[in-house]
Amino acid sequence: MSVAFAAPRQRGKGEITPAAIQKMLDDNNHLIQCIMDSQNKGKTSECSHWRLPIHCLLYMLCPDRWVV
């Protein structure tokens, strides 16, 4: 997985495709798995590394920010 987890910004484009949503959901799933793996290995300090990317992806999935 690349360092840039977030899909290109959809703001102002008036559309977000099902494929883009699925990609963001898949990326979220990957990040959650990374967090769970770190927690299971007792490396809780590594969990904070994933906090910002997952926050950005969740924000991108928020319907309130989609322009129609």
pLDDT by residue (tens digit) across 10-21?
Answer: 445 556 788 988
Q: What is the pLDDT of residue 1?
A: 43
Q: What is the pLDDT of residue 4?
A: 47
Burial of 28 (0-12, 13-18, 19+ CB in 10 A): middle
Q: What is the pLDDT of residue 10?
A: 46
pLDDT by residue (tens digit) across 20-57?
Answer: 889 989 999 999 999 999 989 998 888 888 888 888 88
Q: pLDDT band for 6, please (50, 70, 90 cuts).
A: very low
